[in-house]
Amino acid sequence: MDSKDFKIMIVDDSKLARKKLKDCLALLEYTNVLEAEDGDEAVSLFRKEKPNLVFMDIVMPKMFGTDAVKGIVEADENAIIVMLSSVGTKKHVQDSIKAGARDFIFKPFTASHVSKILERYNQ
């Protein structure tokens, strides 16, 4: 799929983290980007917009990232969700995959990490 048609949602309570990832996506020519600042908003926005891929922080207020993953997977079992976290313990990775996430990136990430994810899932 053309990068301009590939819709991506970034979910992170940190505005700075969302901006960093959005800037990284723009460098890779992915400009169709939605943003949510918590899990509740993410599930609602996913149901409305049906993005092709979701980058989801784990630790957020209101709804933990793994719970938001479950809500999104209930809406679409084929959803592609990539977890982002600076607190990437083995348990967080396992819980995320069990909830339905397909991949995991540790913060701080690089454009190379993001590029590999996009190559893997934008087929």
Percent of the chain at pLDDT > 90 equals 73
pLDDT, position 88: 59
Domain boundaries, the chain: 8-121
Pick the CATH number of 8-121 from 3.40.50.410, 3.40.630.30, 3.40.50.720, 3.40.50.2300: 3.40.50.2300
Q: What string of DSSP letters covers 18-40?
A: HHHHHHHHHHTT---EEEESSHH
Give the pLDDT band (50/70/90) at residue 26: very high
Task: Count, in order, helices (H) and strands (E) of the chain.
Answer: 5, 5
Q: The tokens of 98 are what?
A: 């069990």
Angle in degrees, 0-180, between the axes of helices 65-75 and 90-99, rounded to the nearest 10: 20
- pTM listed for this prediction: 0.94
E-strand ranges in 2-111 read: 8-11, 33-36, 53-57, 81-85, 103-106
pLDDT 10s digits, 75-113: 999 999 999 987 756 787 788 889 999 999 888 899 999
Rounded Cα distance between 68 and 1, Å, is 26
How far is it, in rounded angstroms, from Cα 1 to Cα 11?
22
